[in-house]
Amino acid sequence: MKMSNRERIGWALVLLTALISRLADLGHRAMSHDESLHAVYSRYLTEGAGYRHDPMMHGPLLFHLNALTDLFLSHTDFTYRLVPAFFGVGCVAILLAYRKWLGPRGALIAAALLTVDPAHLTFSRYLRNDIYISLFTLWMFWAVMRYREERKAGHLLHLAIALGLSFACKEVCYIHGAVFGSGCLLFALVDTLRVHKPPFHKIPRPVPLTIRDLFRLLIPAIRRLILSIGNLVCSAPELIRTLKTPTQTFLRHPLTQCALLMLTLALPFASALLEKDLAWDQRSMPDPDIFQRIVGLTLIPFGVATAIAIPYYQFVRRLGAWVTCLFSFWSIQLTLYTTLFHNPVQGFATGVWGGLGYWLAQHEVERGNSSHLFYLSLLLLYAPILLSGLIVGIRNLKKTWIGFTLFWTIGNILIYSWAGERMPWLLVHITLPLCLLTAVGIDRTLAWRGPVRIAGLAVLGLGLLQMTVNAWRINGPNAEGPIEPMMYAHSGAGVKPAVDIAFQHLEAHPGTVLVSENQFSWPMLWYFRDGPAPYQYQETLDSLPAHASVIFTAPSNRERFQQMGWNPRLEVAMTTWPRPHYHDVSLQNLKNLLTLPPVRQKFFRYYLNRAQPDWGPYEYPGPHRFLLMTRSPTREEPRLLP
């Protein structure tokens, strides 16, 4: 489809906006707890300091990409966030390939929505895996739809590579694989039924069997039942002959081929379901006996997958393509999970077995928000206009790509809302398909005429303005601290000033060290890895080395250390959490909103300006605070604090 000059200008502006919004002031915000974990272990990989895949930190792709950034650029907050930032721009740019389905204007609108979507913008500026998954999911959707239309083997290879990178990235790939696979089978069946009408008219009607027959004449009732079953059995050969052609059509359907490809490639990762007693335990992974059991159990689903794939893809004449896809998929897994083949035993075990096993165990922990309506509350808070995409999808089900996108949306909403871990960064997997559906609705609204068009554009304009303001607010004035529900386990604004003060003091007193309690290690291990002095951490600070001149301790220890000559310099909210009850969706909250004027006033103040009272000393979850204290170095022996 040829692109006009106006469309080229529009795309240039959208992509430039996406790039600037993701790179501007990218290194200003302090690394969060999780970001610092990802950064430090990426440095371990760069330095050859023993990085090994750990399911707790998800897949290895992020660490390998960051190691490349470190190798060719440097290791700063800005450079380590460059990869997710460019992946965020990639999510916008890949929609150029969606012009065939969305149309020229619709694709541009979808790109603009992803550019200002608060979830995508925020986590394009965050060292997490989810923005990578967004790009790979868009790639998978493109490959599936193109293979449905053109049936070129190259599109199956695209699907295999995108799926392989997803499996090397984060365990949500199991969710997306299940949704896409079931969606492919569903719409393959729909397409088949459109061509071959169900032959229900050829099935003889069974002899009516009433309740009266059962009570009055038991023997005639049994006779009639036998006659009904006999009629069905006699018609079975004709029914089978009638169903033979549609069955072959369904099996040969390109969407069925996509579903079977995803199933047969990913099935070995389900081996953790075969033996629950063999739980994931990183310490036991190097044990040869454990490894042999894992390899043996993994061979079972691999054998099942092969037994399904070879005859099936021989039947559809795509066996060579499947072998190529198999090689590509597993080349990605083995290369990354084994850390470029430096950790073959433990890497294979934790990758193929440990990922699913560990995160299934976390389902019962239920970390994050406890409400099943958590993602709905975030959508209503940050981007309610995107919920209109559900209406668009329902009204356009006859178009396969729209119906598939609606299935994708609803599937993600239901599964992520059910899953035990409900975190704000997972919202990107719900807003992604919603942006596509909403773009269709906006494109059609632009084609309306008269007052209805004006009213529709006014509503859409307000919704897009709200999204843009929220995206700016999260990543601008509210980027640090617990104000925004989008930020969870986030670093406070005082972290970087505390690092600067500690650096200045250590540089002014060479030969001294910083000592921290263990609970304050992250993100400080990241910031002091190349600091002016060694960074030491211990369970408590009851015993300190004589050459310690900077400490990070709990604020409750202020007086005790002051009596020993330490000077308090800065109290910092190191890790913060938003108030979960401030955006809960419940019938009681709705009733209070409708009946109590003070509640309405507080609601609108919070909804429009995020206005809320300061945290109380006993409020949960309160910020995790530390106190930075310094002293002049002495030659005294280590002493035990009173």
- Return the DSSP state at 623: P
Nearest-5° Cα angle at 224, 219 to 225: 95
Q: List pLDDT tens digits, range 378-437.
A: 999 999 999 999 999 999 888 999 999 999 999 999 999 998 888 999 999 999 999 999
Spatial neighbors of 609 by CB under 8 A, at least 6 apart, are none
DSSP lists the bridge partners of residue 575 as: 491, 624
Strands 513-517 and 535-538: parallel
pLDDT the model gives residue 306? 95
- Could you tell me how many residues make up the chain? 642
State the 10-residue block means of pLDDT for the chain, 642 residues long.
90 97 94 93 88 88 94 92 97 96 95 97 95 98 96 96 96 94 95 75 51 56 67 60 76 96 93 64 54 78 94 94 97 94 84 79 72 91 94 90 96 92 93 97 89 88 94 92 87 92 92 91 89 83 89 93 93 87 78 88 88 74 89 55 38
Q: What is the tally of helices (H) and strands (E) in the chain?
A: 28, 6
- State the DSSP H helix or E strand holding residue 491, giving kind and residue range, or none if neither: strand 490-491
pLDDT the model gives residue 241? 60
State how far the alpha carbon of 375 is from the alpha carbons of 174, 371, 372, 389, 591, in Å.
19, 9, 8, 15, 20
pLDDT the model gives residue 641? 39
For 199-220, the DSSP string reads -GGGSPPPPP--HHHHHH-HHH
pLDDT the model gives residue 218? 58
CA–CA gap between residue 313 and residue 239 (Å, rounded)? 26
Answer whether 0.85 is exceeded by the pTM. Answer: yes
CA–CA gap between residue 135 and residue 29 (Å, rounded)? 24
Query: What residues does each domain of the chain span?
Result: 490-630
Q: Calculate the dihedral angle through the C-alpha atoms of 524, 528, 529, 535, rounding to the nearest 10 degrees.
A: -90
Centroid of chain to Cα 154: 27
pLDDT the model gives residue 481? 81
- Angle formed by the axes of helices 254-266 and 236-252, nearest 10°: 70
Are 66 and 39 in contact, with CB atoms under 8 Å apart?
A: yes
CA–CA gap between residue 537 and residue 525 (Å, rounded)? 9
Q: Quick one: CA dihedral 123, 129, 134, 139, positive or negative? A: positive
Q: List pLDDT tens digits, range 332-383.
A: 999 999 999 988 878 888 888 878 877 777 767 677 777 888 999 999 999 9
pLDDT the model gives residue 640? 37
CA–CA gap between residue 491 and residue 73 (Å, rounded)? 25
State how far the alpha carbon of 328 is from the alpha carbons of 156, 159, 237, 303, in Å.
11, 10, 43, 18
Token readout for 410 is: 């609803």
pLDDT the model gives residue 579? 79
pLDDT the model gives residue 275? 65
pLDDT the model gives residue 239? 52
- Give the residue ranges of DSSP H helices in 94-203: 99-116, 118-124, 130-150, 153-167, 173-195
pLDDT > 70 fraction of the chain, expressed in percent and rounded: 88
Q: Quick one: CA dihedral 384, 114, 258, 173, positive or negative? A: negative
pLDDT the model gives residue 613? 78
